[in-house]
A and B are shown apart, each in its own frame.
Chain A
C-alpha cells in the first residue's frame, strides 16, 4: 500500500528534471500518423477474422471466378479468363481489405469511445480517420502487388502496360473506399451489423463494376448504367493500367466518375460522420 504511494511520489519528483529538455518537442503530422497507424497494425494483427478475410477471401474469389468464367463468354472482348479474374481480384481486395475492414474498424473505435478520446488530443479529425485507415490501405496495396506479380509470373499475363494508370487507379480506389467506409460507419450501429451495411456496395460492385462479371459481356444499356457505379471508374483505370486497351475519353469518364464518388463520400463524411457512440 505505502510502497505504491512512495513509488508514485518518487516518479513525480523525477519529472521536474526532465521537463526542461523535452518541453519544446512538438509533434509532426508524420509522427502522429505513424503513432496511430502503428496501433492499428497491432490491432489488425490481433483480429484473426479480419486478417483471414483480408488475405484469403480475395484468393478464394479469384479462384472461384477462374473456374466459373468460360472462355467462350469472353470471346470478342479481348480478355482472357485469367486477366478478368485477376483484375477483378484487385477490385475484391479493395472492397474487402479497405472498405469492409475499415467500416468495422471505424465502428469499433467509435463504440469503444476511442474516437471520442482521440478527439480530445492534438490529432485533427482528418488525421484520426487517415491514421486508422493506413494499415488496411497498406495491406490492400501489398495484396495488389502480389496479384500483379503472380499474374505475370504464373498466369501468362503481360506486365502492366501503363503502370501510371494502374497506380492512379489504385490510389483513387483506396481513397474512395476509405471515404465510403467512413460514410457507411455513420449508418452502422455495431461491428456485427457492419457485415450487413457493407453488403450493398459489395454486391453492386461484384455484379456491376466488373469485379466478378466483366462489363464487356453485358448488354450495352446495362453496361453504360454500370459505368456510373462507385467502383467502376477505379476498375476501368486499374484494368487499363494493367492490360491496356481503353481509349482516352473512356479513361476520362472513368476518372471523373471515381473522383465524383470520392467527392460525394468525403462530403458525406464531413456532414454525417459520428464520433460518439450510437446508443
Chain B
C-alpha cells in the first residue's frame, strides 16, 4: 500500500539523544482552579511509532496532548517534540507537525473548500485542496458549508487539515469520536497507512478497540497519571481470561467442578482463569458428563478492555481505602 504521507527521510532529523520524536518527562499541569489534570507523566514515542494514550474521560489525556502540541506549557517537567520545546519554539515545530484537536472549530459559514484553502495558506508544503479532501473521503462535500456537515464529516475535515502539510508527527485527539462504524474503519486504515509511511502518531482515544488495532505501544492514564504502559500484549499479559455462561434452572452453581474459580450471580456465572484452554476443557467435560446445557457460552482471552476496567476499578478502590 502506498503511504499517504511524506514523513520525509530528507527532513532534518533533530531528535533527542534517545532517538525519541516525542518526549514527556515528569510533566505536571495544574489549572487555574487548582485542579491538577496532569500529575507527573513521562513517556516517549520513537520515530515512526504509533503511541496511544488511553483513559476514561477526565483522565488527563487531552491536557497532556495540549502540552505536546505547544498550546500551553507544563508547570513542571519538560516536553520535547522533534527535539524542540513545542511552546517556546513554536515556529520550529509547527511546520512539521499536524494537529487534530478533540474539539476543533471552523467558521460555520465557510464552505469545506474555503476552509481547506484558508488552512493551506497557513501551512508549509500544503497538499492540493482536492487531494486533502479525497484523502478523508470528503471530496463530494467540497462546496457544502461547514455548518451543514454532520459531526462525523466535521471530524474528517479536521483530519484533512491535520494531514494538509504532510506532517512528520501527527497528534490525533480522539479522532474517531462521533464517526459511524464505517467512518471509523476508514480513519483507522488511513492512520495505518500514514504510520506505514513513517509518520509518528500520538493518538488519544477512549475506544479500547481503536488502541488495540492501531497502537504499537500504549499507555493507560487514570487521574492524571500513567498507570500502565507497553504493547497490548505486555499490558494484557498479567490479566486473566474470562468465561461466561448461564446455568439452566435447577442446576445450582455449587455443582460446578471444584477446580474452577467461579463467581455466581444468580444463574449467571463468570470464571476468571489464566489457563483458558484447560479451564474450558474442564468445564465442557463436566457439562457433557452431567448433561448440563451452558447457555450463552462466551470465552475470551484477556483484552485491553479487561485490563482497562481492572485498572480503573482498582485505582478508585485504592483511593477509597486511602480516604
Contacts and interface: CB of A to CB of B under 8 A. Distances in A.
Contacts of B124: 25-27, 122
Interface stretch (B36-44, B53-61, B130-138): B130-138
B152 to A, nearest CB: 13
B101 A43 contact: no
Given A12-B193, A120-B71, A35 B121 contact: yes
Interface stretch (B77-85, B103-111, B282-290, B308-316): B103-111
A35 B120 contact: yes
A112 B125 contact: no
B166 interface: yes
A14 B94 CA distance: 25
B35 to A, nearest CB: 15
B125 A11 contact: no
Contacts of B125: 22-26
B22 to A, nearest CB: 15
Contacts of B103: 113
Interface residues of A, number: 47
B136 A117 contact: no
A169 B103 CA distance: 41
Interface residues of B, number: 53
A265 to B, nearest CB: 24
Interface stretch (A1-9, A175-183, A222-230): A1-9
Contacts of A113: 101, 103-105
Interface in B3-44: 3-6, 8, 10-11
Contact of B95 (A5, A22, A26): A26
A14 B131 contact: yes
Interface stretch (B182-190, B207-215, B269-277): B182-190
Contacts of B94: 120-122
Contacts of A200: none
Chain A interface helix/strand/loop/mixed? helix
Interface string A115-143: 11111111110000000000000000000
Interface string A195-208: 00000000000000
Interface string A32-47: 1011101100110011
Contacts of B127: 15, 18, 22
Contacts of A10: 134
A4 B187 CA distance: 12
A12 B190 contact: yes
B105 A112 contact: yes
A119 B105 CA distance: 11
B117 interface: yes
Interface in A32-89: 32, 34-36, 38-39, 42-43, 46-47
Contacts of B166: 15, 19, 23
Contacts of B131: 11, 14-15, 18
Contact of B186 (A5, A24, A124): A5
Contact of B3 (A7, A8, A12): A12
B122 to A, nearest CB: 5
Interface string A88-112: 0000000000000000000011001
Contacts of A12: 1-4, 135, 190, 193
B69 interface: yes
A27 B135 contact: no
Interface string A135-173: 000000000000000000000000000000000000000
A114 B106 contact: yes
Nearest to A105: B107
Nearest to A4: B137
Nearest to A28: B121
Nearest to B132: A11
Contacts of A47: 109
B119 A121 contact: yes
A42 B114 contact: yes
B112 interface: no
B122 A9 contact: no
Interface in B70-102: 71, 90-91, 94-95, 99, 101
B121 A27 contact: yes
B240 interface: no
A249 interface: no
Interface of B: 1-6, 8, 10-11, 69, 71, 90-91, 94-95, 99, 101, 103-110, 114-115, 117-128, 131, 134-137, 139, 158, 161, 166, 182, 186, 189-190, 193
14 contacts: A5-B186, A9-B193, A10-B134, A22-B127, A25-B125, A27-B121, A38-B117, A39-B110, A42-B109, A43-B109, A112-B108, A113-B104, A114-B106, A120-B69
Question: Which 8 pairs between the two chains have the least Cβ-Cβ distance?
Answer: A35-B121, A113-B105, A11-B134, A12-B4, A13-B2, A120-B99, A19-B6, A39-B118
Interface of A: 1, 4-5, 7-16, 18-19, 22-27, 31-32, 34-36, 38-39, 42-43, 46-47, 108-109, 112-124
